[in-house]
């Protein structure tokens, strides 16, 4: 019974996330719950326009420029607990 309750509860979070327009958060939770082991592809345009990412880059990387024509992998650690209230999709 506990498993069924948890399964229904977390699935309702996914559905609620999509209904509330929190598509990014719902997609990540659904990916986590399905446990397929596949990598999750996220839309880079969303992160480029996220107010949290913009603020973080402005505070920590003042001279960083993003160009669409050049691709470079950079890992930037943003902890959602610090900024999540500003962008629910994180």
Residue 2 and residue 21 in one domain: yes
Same domain assignment for residues 54 and 75? yes
Please indicate, yes or no, whether residues 33 and 57 belong to a single structural domain of this protein.
no
**Do 12 and 54 fall into the same domain?**
no
> How far is residue 25's CA from residue 32's CA, in Å, rounded to a whole number?
11
Give the CA distances from residue 47 to residues 1, 8, 16, 43, 54, in Å, rounded to whole numbers and listed in that order: 39, 30, 22, 7, 9
Same domain, 60 and 82: yes
**Are 66 and 87 part of one and the same domain?**
yes
Tokens of 75: 């890992």
| Domain hosting residue 14, numbered range | 1-40
Count of domains forming the chain: 2
Q: Are 20 and 52 in a shared domain? A: no
Evaluate if pTM is beyond 0.75.
Answer: no
* pLDDT 10s digits, 31-85: 888 888 888 877 778 777 888 778 877 877 776 666 667 666 666 777 766 766 6
Residue 87 has pLDDT above 80, yes or no: no
């Amino acid at each position: 019974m506990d498993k069924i309750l948890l399964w229904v509860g977390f699935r309702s979070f996914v559905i609620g996330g999509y209904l509330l327009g929190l598509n990014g958060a719902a997609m990540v939770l659904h990916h986590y719950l399905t446990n397929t082991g596949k990598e999750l592809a996220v839309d880079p345009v969303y992160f480029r326009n996220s107010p949290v990412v913009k603020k973080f880059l402005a505070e920590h990387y003042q001279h960083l420029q993003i160009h669409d024509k050049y691709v470079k992998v950079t890992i930037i650690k943003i902890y959602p607990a610090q900024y999540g209230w500003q962008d629910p999709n994180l």
